[in-house]
A = this chain, B = another copy of it.
Amino acid sequence: MVMKTVKNAAGRSVPLEINGQPVIPFKGIGKHKPEGRKYSPVIPTCADFPDDGNKVLSSLEEALRKCGLRDGMTISTHHHLRDGDLVSNHIFELASAMGVKDLIWFPSASFPCHEPLIKFLDDGTINRIEGSMNGPLGRYVSEGKMKGTAVLRSHGGRVQAIQDGEVRIDIAVLAAPTADSFGNAKGTSGPSACGVLGYAKADYMYADKVIVVTDNLIDLPCFPMEIEGNYVDYVVVVDKIGIPEKIISGTTQITKSPDRLLIAELTAAFLEKSGILKDGVSMQAGAGGTSLAIAVFISEILKNKGWKSKFGFGGSTKYMVKMLEDGLMNFILDAQVFDLEAVKSIENNQNHVPYSVFNAYNYHSKGNLTSMMDIMILGATEIDLNFNGNVVTHSDGYLLHGIGGWQNCLHARNVILPIPLFRDRIPVIVDEVTTLCGPGEMIDVVITERGIAVNPLRKDLIESVQGKGLPLKTLKELKDEAELICGVPQKPQFEDDIVAAIKWVDGTVIDVVRKLK
Q: Is the CB of B331 within 8 A of A366?
A: no
Q: Is the CB of B353 within 8 A of A46?
A: no
Q: In the complex the two chains form, what is the Cα distance from A415 to B121 in whole Å?
A: 54
Q: Does A257 contact B (CB under 8 A)?
A: no
- Looking at A163, A232, A371, the one whose CB has the most chain B CB atoms below 10 A away is A371
Question: Given contacts A38-B43, A52-B371, A182-B372, could you give 11 more A-B pairs where the C-beta distance is less than 8 Å?
Answer: A34-B45, A36-B42, A37-B42, A45-B365, A46-B365, A46-B411, A51-B372, A230-B366, A230-B367, A231-B366, A350-B350
- Looking at A37, A38, A41, A228, the one whose CB has the most chain B CB atoms below 10 A away is A38
Q: Is the CB of A364 within 8 A of B163?
A: no
Q: How far is the CB of A308 from chain B (nearest CB, A)?
A: 11
Residues in B with CB closer than 8 Å to A371 are 46, 51-53
Determine the main DSSP class of A at the interface with B.
loop
Binding-face segment, A111-119, A217-225, A483-491: A217-225
Q: Is the CB of A366 within 8 A of B232?
A: yes
Q: Could you say which of B37, B50, B228, B364 contacts A45, with CB atoms under 8 Å apart?
A: B364
Q: How far is the CB of A450 from chain B (nearest CB, A)?
A: 32
Chain A residues with a Cβ under 8 A of chain B: 30-53, 55, 163-164, 182-183, 210, 219-221, 223-224, 228-233, 310-311, 331, 333, 350-351, 353, 358-359, 362-369, 371-372, 411, 413, 506
Residues in B with CB closer than 8 Å to A32 are 45
Number of copies: 2
Q: Is the CB of B233 within 8 A of A366?
A: yes
Residues in B with CB closer than 8 Å to A51 are 371-372, 411, 413
Residues in B with CB closer than 8 Å to A41 are 37-38
Q: How far is the CB of A259 from chain B (nearest CB, A)?
A: 34
Question: With A224-B353, A366-B49 given, is the CB distance from A230 to B359 under 8 Å?
Answer: yes
Residues in B with CB closer than 8 Å to A368 are 46, 230
Residues in B with CB closer than 8 Å to A310 are 219-220
Residues in B with CB closer than 8 Å to A34 are 43-45
Residues in B with CB closer than 8 Å to A358 are 230
Can you sample 8 A-B contacts with CB below 8 Å? A37-B43, A38-B41, A46-B371, A51-B371, A51-B372, A224-B353, A228-B359, A350-B350
Q: In this complex, what residue of B is CB-closest to A43?
A: B34
Q: In this complex, what residue of B is CB-closest to A310?
A: B219
Q: In this complex, what residue of B is CB-closest to A37?
A: B40
Q: How far is the CB of A405 from chain B (nearest CB, A)?
A: 14
Q: How far is the CB of A375 from chain B (nearest CB, A)?
A: 15
Q: In the complex the two chains form, what is the Cα distance from A36 to B42 in whole Å?
A: 6
Question: With A47-B30, A221-B331 given, is the CB distance from A367 to B55 under 8 Å?
Answer: yes
Q: How far is the CB of A120 from chain B (nearest CB, A)?
A: 29
Q: Is the CB of B223 within 8 A of A353?
A: yes
Q: In the complex the two chains form, what is the Cα distance from A288 to B333 in whole Å?
A: 40
Residues in B with CB closer than 8 Å to A350 are 350
Q: Could you say which of B40, B164, B223, B359 contacts A331, with CB atoms under 8 Å apart?
A: B223
| Pairs of residues from A and B, 3 with the lowest C-beta to C-beta distance, nearest first | A49-B367, A40-B40, A37-B40
Q: In this complex, what residue of B is CB-closest to A313?
A: B221
